[in-house]
Amino acid sequence: MKPFLDFVPQMNDIDLKRIARMQKKMEKRQASICSERALLITESFQSTEGEDYVLRKAKAFAHILKHMSIYIENDSLIFGNQANCNFAAPIFPEYSINWIIDELDEFHQRSGDVFQISEKVKKDLSGIASYWRNNTHQDEVFRNTPETIVLSEKQGVLHRGGISMSGDGHIVPKHELILEKGFRAIIRDAQQKLNETIDHEAQIFYQSVIITLEGALVYIKRFSQLAYQMAEGEKDEKRKAELWKIGKMCETLMERPVQNFYEGCEVCYLVHVLQMLESNGHSFCYGRFDQYMIDLYHSDIQNGILTKEKALEIITHMFLMNSSHNKVRPYGHTKFSQGYPLYSNLMIGGRKPDGADGSNELSYLCIEAMNLTSMAEPNFSMRYNQDTPADLLKLAAKLIRTGCGMPSMFNDEVAVRGLMDLGIPKEDALDYCAIGCVETGVPGKYGHRATGMTYVNWGKVLELVLNNGKDPNSGIQLISLNGRNDNEINYESYDEVWDGWEKLLKYYSDLAVECDAICDRSLAKHDASPFASCFIDNCMELGKTLKNGGCKYDVISQSNIGPCVVGNSLAAIKKLIFDEQKITWEQLLSAINNNWQGREASYIHKLVKNAPKFGNDDDYVDYIVKDVFDSYLRLLPAYKTERMGRGPEISCYTMSTSNITSYVPNGLDVGSTPDGRTAKSPLNEGCSPTQGTDMRGPTAVINSVAKLPNSKVAAGQLLNMRFSSGSLAGDENLNKFVNFLQACILKGIYHNQFNVVDSKTLLDAKEHPENYTDLIVRVAGYCAQFVALMPEAQNAIIARTENEWCM
Amino acid sequence: MSDENKGYISTIQLYSTKDGPGIRSTVFFMGCNLKCKWCSNPELLTPDIKYMHFEHKCIHCGACVEIASNHSITFAEKGCRIDRQMCSNLAECAEICPQNAYEKIGFEISSEELVHKIMRDKEFYSVSNGGVTFSGGDSILQGDFIIDVAQRLHAQGIHIALDTAGNICWEKMKAIIENVDMVLYDIKAYAGEIHKICTAVDNTLILSNIKHISKMNKDIIIRMIIVPGFNDDMDDVYQRIVFIKSLGSSVKRVDILEYHNFGSGKYARLGIENPIQQVICNNYSLLEKVKKMACELGLNAAILQ
Ligand code: SF4
Ligand code: SF4
């Protein structure tokens, strides 16, 4: 394989063999569960009973950092670990414990996202379970959850992902600040503020900041000792020197500002690891890496202490080490986010706060590094706009062409407008980055998950519209449309159907907001993260943790799944029943209830399948899908977050279609739908056309999506497209693809990501996983190793229409 | 041009990247006055509505068999056997099929509507210096219509390419060429007899038309398909190349096309006999040789797969 896309090394300062070794190691890694963190936090909590919870979390964090095992990977220039070995997942019993104990014997037997677990670890975890039972975040959420929400979950409409049992994550620290100041200076700031304040909450906060940062400094110094020890025993002279350098670096790292590019990369990585260790979330992100690292890079190059080749090596090591982390989720949640994702987004390109395009040398190097990394993490994204250099776009296209699904492309013009519409000042909006998959926010200023609070299954809501609010599966009815308690309802006009949709959508969206609030109130305590908070505006000024209102911008959203299935269904109903009167309501329902089986049902199935479908540039249905989006957007201004008026400068709800793999399991809950979808099959992914219904190629998809209110979906509008590998082969096709990307800017597409691999390859990979450990696919806003996915998700990816570029 | 000006087309292929520069939309017009043995678009040979039958989709439900006039549809081992002469209600049969086993080919469209459809992708043309390509069949048989469409598109700055076999009188051809920017021109054989055997028509008009076109200051791409056993006589190929060379600098490129059998299934689906029964294997060393020959004469040649 050609190691570089475009890069031509001028000197021998990058060890490609070593990178290949690390890459192989990551590719073949095995997931396991580590009990160290769980034991240490239990020990610490037992010794701090009765103290303030935030303080207890801070102390526990420091305790963990002091005593957990640390290691430096054999080949790596970058270090920092959150569990005892490569790809092990730590356990966070303070968030939830029951499922862990319930699944102890099943982790290694899952059909996807398997985890090895030793008998000792099982024993360790069983041993601490009783201490945490009834005292976790999950328990508190559970206690406060009303019956209606439980029932709506049973219906399959609402789903609470991580927020009900895990940390929130979704944090991008202010990297500039960390690099410029170091931890010590922030400790001094906190100390000073502590001396000045009389507010109890603030006192606790500043104390906690000091404790966590001191803990982090201890952790770093432990690496100094370890590196020196390893250097002593090291035979290889080059490696010995590297270890000495690490040892020396860690004596003072973060005691003072960052000194050079290498230190900068290491610090970004360490902060990432430490945030993950502190709070059990995911989507801790690197933000605009090429922007905040470019000064260090330039000055090192000018001073002659760094070569381009070395820089590429360091970045690649840092990228690769992101695959050493892991997070374990309950099996039920794994279905919603498969492939061991951490969604550690790292973004390049895009405009600077002053509006000029910020692409720089590091943007190019990062693309090359991602090519060398060829793993699913970091989740690599790129911003672009009309001023993005064509050769940078072309390099990105070359990476996309390798089939790794990255970078995923964000359109500056739309994303910036979206954030500004929320009231975020222009220079901050221009500085946005991706957080997790497709959601966007302002680095160092956002405090909550832009997306992925409660998941709302719109496919199910539609099914309830057909059934008068009564779920045919569970028999549960929380609201009736015609006042009767059965599922019979006859609509006289399309407007009546539409009213039914709006009514149920409001009912369940209201419920979802209540659901968010219940989780958020508990997270304010259980997910208090002083370490992460002190790097986010305005926590230090306000003396508040993020979760309790410290962040500057508090923009959240739920995740709405299946808008195109809903729109396509409504279009089929409108056209066939009301406009053309080709079939009756009863005929349609009976065909649906028979899951399209039988002679009449299959004829009706054909008619609905032939009805207009979103993704073909057909105004009839495209504007109905737009109506569906608008119906939800109209609800948002009425929704308030828990922190409104308690710190943040902006608090509001927005919309997102970033839905990770949930379109697959959500589909399992939904019977046949009037768009011709069969029972249990997946819903559509993000705002992408339903699998296999876009027949007119990529430009038609773009034209359809362009009709949606994309900039209003300010927490991320996910569009996933698949191209066959042949369609990007050669320079001419590649140039046309670059043109295609440029046209997406003009068309106002929010985001676009690409799977480039032919279905034959995917089918083969499903049959022979052992030959395809290196195959990375775009799932939904993130990438995963194809072979780690569950069969249903694999099928959904195979079914996604393959765009051919020509006949 | 009056509003009644209608064209007959089968599809508009969006995001077409092989029919000229940039990102294009290719319009497939119905009707052709050649009859190439290797034609991969037999559904476009005549300008009437047709139905293809996809036997693999058929589940023998019997619905079409029951309503077909004169018992014209019967079960075959796979799919249905359709007596197209006898069947007077094929449209109804297609409509009733629950499996979409019939596909209707061809529809009438006004120039206004066609332009409207083409313009939906205008951003893609503009960023890529692409445009629209008239293909088929052979669109020149609907000369008045395509001139109308071309003029409307030119008014909006769209680049137009014409993909043609060129078999109409020069007077009509000239009027069309004046309204397009680029010509993709097929030369299938040099010797008249070979051409006649392969395409059922003589090539006198075809060769003289391209000579005229080459003087009109339009970009020309010559397309030269090589079908083993049909038009691969090396002497004739050489004469084709010499002829192309003589056309001068308007010829920007010669595309050497290999034969593909993507169209072979269509014959059966349309219920017509495929003139090529045998399996044809491309001879790649021959294609390379043709390319070399063309390059040696100073032509810019490429093999298109
Ligand atoms: S109606 Fe369709 S599926 Fe039924 S027999 Fe005819 S072609 Fe086959
Ligand atoms: S000129 Fe083209 S469309 Fe006409 S018969 Fe020949 S191959 Fe078919």
pLDDT value at A604 more than 80: yes
Q: Per-residue confidence at A776, pLDDT binned at 50, 70, 90?
A: low
Q: Is the pLDDT of residue B137 over 70?
A: yes
Q: Tell which one of B52, B56, B59 to mutate to probe ligand 1, the residue whose CB is within 8 A of the most ligand atoms.
A: B59
Q: Give the pLDDT of residue A691.
A: 80
CB-based contact A647:A542 (threshold 8 Å):
yes
Q: Tens digit of pLDDT for each residue in A379-418?
A: 999 999 999 999 999 999 999 988 888 999 999 999 999 9
Candidate from A8-17, A607-616, A770-779 with smallest mean pLDDT: A770-779
Q: What is the rounded CA–CA span in Å between residue A399 and residue A4?
A: 10
Taking only the tens place, the pLDDT of each residue in B72-112 is 999 999 999 999 999 999 999 999 999 999 999 999 999 99
pLDDT exceeds cutoff 90 at B142: yes
Tell me the C-alpha distance between A640 and A367, whole Å.
40
Query: Is the pLDDT confidence value at A255 over 70?
Result: yes
The count of residues in chain A is 807
Interface contact flag, B23 A697, Cβ < 8 Å: no
Output the pLDDT for position A450: 63
Identify the pLDDT of residue A620: 98
**% of chain A residues with pLDDT over 70:** 94
Contacts of A747 in chain B (CB under 8 A): 123
Inter-chain touch A603–B128, beta carbons under 8 Å: no
State if residue B140 touches ligand 1 by the CB under 6 angstroms criterion.
no
- Cβ–Cβ of A599/B98 closer than 8 Å? yes
pLDDT of residue A281: 80
pLDDT of residue A781: 47
Stretch A495-509: mean pLDDT: 98
d(CA A623, CA A612): 11
- The predicted model gives A303-319 an average pLDDT of 98
Q: Is A739 left (phi over 0), alpha (psi -120 to 50) or beta?
A: alpha
Structure tokens at A773: 């450990």
pLDDT bucket at A800, cuts 50 / 70 / 90: low
Contact across the interface for A602 and B99, Cβ inside 8 Å: yes
pLDDT at residue A314 greater than cutoff 50: yes
How distant, in Å, are the alpha carbons of B171, B174, B241 from that of B211? 14, 11, 14
Kindly indicate the confidence band of residue A787, based on its pLDDT and cuts at 50, 70 and 90: low
- pLDDT grade for A782, boundaries at 50, 70 and 90: low
Contacts of B23 in chain A (CB under 8 A): 699, 736, 739-740, 743
Q: Which of residues 705-744 of A touch B (CB under 8 A)?
A: 727, 732-733, 735-736, 739-740, 742-743
Q: Which two tokens stand for residue B218?
A: 């339009």
List pLDDT tens digits, range B188-213.
Answer: 999 999 999 999 999 999 999 999 99
Distance in Å, alpha carbon of A698 to nearest chain B alpha carbon: 7
Provide the residue ranges of all domains of chain B, joining segments of one domain with +.
6-46+108-303, 50-105
Planar angle of CA A23, A233, A271, nearest 5 degrees? 50
pLDDT at A624 over 90: yes
Top-tier CATH class for B6-46+108-303: alpha beta
Q: Whose CA is nearest to atom 1 of ligand 1?
A: B97
Taking the Cβ of residue B300 and every Cβ of chain A, the question of whether any pair is shorter than 8 Å is answered with no
**DSSP 8-state class, residue A440:** E
How many CB atoms lie under 10 A from the CB of residue B52?
Answer: 18
Return the bridge partners of B26, or none: B13, B133
Task: State residue B4's pLDDT score.
Answer: 57
Query: Nearest ligand, CA of residue A602?
Result: 1
Distance of CA B28 from the midpoint of ligand 1 (Å): 28
CB contact under 8 A, A739 and B123: no
Single-letter amino acid code for the residue at B122: K
Judge whether residue A799 has pLDDT over 80.
no
State how beta strands B107-110 and A345-349 pair. unpaired
- pLDDT at residue B153, as a whole number: 98
Q: Give the SS3 label for residue A614.
A: coil
- The answer, yes or no, to whether residue B264 has pLDDT greater than 90, is no
Range A317-345 burial, b when 16+ CB lie within 10 A, else e: bbbbbbbbbbbbbbbebbbbbbbbbbbbb
Dihedral class, residue B98 (left if φ above 0, else alpha if ψ from -120 to 50, else beta): alpha
**A117-142, pLDDT tens digit by residue?**
999 999 999 999 999 999 999 999 99
* B127 interface with A at CB cutoff 8 Å: yes
- Which whole number is the average pLDDT over A261-283? 95
Secondary structure percentages of chain B, helix, strand, coil, to 5: 40, 25, 40
Query: Residue A789: which pLDDT band, with cuts at 50, 70 and 90?
Result: low
Nearest atom of ligand 1 to the alpha carbon of B59: 3
Determine the residue of B11, B19, B32 to mutate for testing ligand 2's pocket, defined as the one with the most ligand atoms within 8 A of the Cβ atom: B32
H helix runs in B97-233, sequence order? 111-119, 122-128, 143-155, 170-177, 192-199, 204-213
Where do runs of H (alpha helix) occur along A423-550? 426-429, 458-466, 494-526, 530-533, 539-542
Site to probe by mutation for ligand 2, drawn from B10, B11, B36 as the one with most ligand atoms within 8 Å of Cβ, is B36
- CA distances A91 to A83, A221, A333, Å, are 9, 24, 16
How much of chain B, in percent, has pLDDT values that exceed 70? 98
State the Cα–Cα distance between residues A320 and A673, nearest whole angstrom.
Answer: 43
Say whether A743 and B120 touch across the interface (CB within 8 A): no
Cβ of residue B136 lying under 6 Å from some atom of ligand 2: yes
Task: Please judge whether A736 and B22 are an interchain contact, meaning their C-beta atoms are less than 8 angstroms apart.
Answer: yes
Does residue A805 have a pLDDT over 50? no
Cα nearest neighbour of A740 on chain B: B124
| Distance in Å, CA B125 to ligand 2 centroid | 27
Question: What is the mean predicted confidence (pLDDT) over A790-796?
Answer: 68
Q: How confident is the model at residue B282 (pLDDT cuts 50, 70, 90)?
A: confident
What does the block give as tokens for A516? 């968010």
What's the count of helices (H) and strands (E) in chain A, helices before strands?
A: 31, 18
User: Residue B305: what pLDDT?
Assistant: 67
Per residue in A568-586, pLDDT (tens digit) is: 999 999 999 999 999 999 9
* pLDDT single digits (tens) A20-73: 999 999 999 999 999 999 999 999 999 999 999 999 999 999 999 999 999 999
- Evaluated on CA atoms B170, B20, B244, B282, the torsion sign reads negative
Which of A465-474, B10-19, B141-150 shows the lowest per-residue confidence on average (mean pLDDT)? B10-19
Q: Does B96 touch chain A (CB under 8 A)?
A: yes
Mean pLDDT of the residues in chain B:
94
pLDDT at A803: 54
**Of the ligands numbered here, which is closest to the C-alpha atom of B10?**
2
User: Over the stretch A75-85, which tens digit does the pLDDT of each residue have?
Assistant: 999 999 999 99
Question: The tokens 């929010």 sit on which residue?
Answer: A750
* Residue A98's pLDDT band (cuts 50, 70, 90): very high
* Pairing relationship of beta strands A783-785 and B80-82 according to DSSP bridges: unpaired
- C-alpha B254 – ligand 2 centre gap (Å): 18
In the CATH scheme, what architecture does the domain B50-105 have? 2-Layer Sandwich (3.30)
pLDDT at residue A807 in the model: 28
Distance of alpha carbon B49 from alpha carbon B55, whole angstroms: 19
Q: Cα torsion for A121, A126, A129, A131, to the nearest 10°?
A: -100
Write phi, then psi, for B183 (nearest 5 degrees): -125, 125
Question: Tens of pLDDT along A417-449?
Answer: 999 999 999 999 999 999 988 889 999 999 877
Per-residue pLDDT, averaged over A645-660, amounts to 90
The pLDDT assigned to A730 comes to 84
Whether A275 contacts A535, CB under 8 Å: no
> Tens digit of pLDDT for each residue in A165-211?
888 889 999 999 999 999 999 999 999 999 999 999 999 999 999 99
Of all protein residues, whose CA lies closest to atom 7 belonging to ligand 1?
Answer: B58
pLDDT tens for A218-234 read: 999 999 999 999 999 99
Residue A112's pLDDT is what? 81
Give the pLDDT of residue A779. Answer: 56
Q: Determine the Cα–Cα distance for residues A364 and A346; give it in Å rounded to an integer.
A: 13
Q: Is the dihedral of CA A388, A394, A398, A401 positive or negative?
A: positive
Report the largest interatomic distance among the alpha carbons of chain A, rounded to a whole angstrom.
84
B23/A740 CB distance under 8 A: yes
Q: Does B209 touch chain A (CB under 8 A)?
A: no
Of ligand 2's listed atoms, the one at least distance from the Cα of B137 is 3
Residue positions counted in chain B: 305
A581: left (phi over 0), alpha (psi -120 to 50) or beta: left
Task: Establish whether residue B41 lines the binding site of ligand 2, counting it when its CB lies within 6 angstroms of any ligand atom.
Answer: yes
Whether residue A734 is predicted with pLDDT greater than 80 in this model: the reply is yes
User: What is this structure's pTM?
Assistant: 0.92
Task: Give yes or no for residue B76 CB within 6 A of ligand 1.
Answer: no
Would you state the pLDDT for residue A775? 65
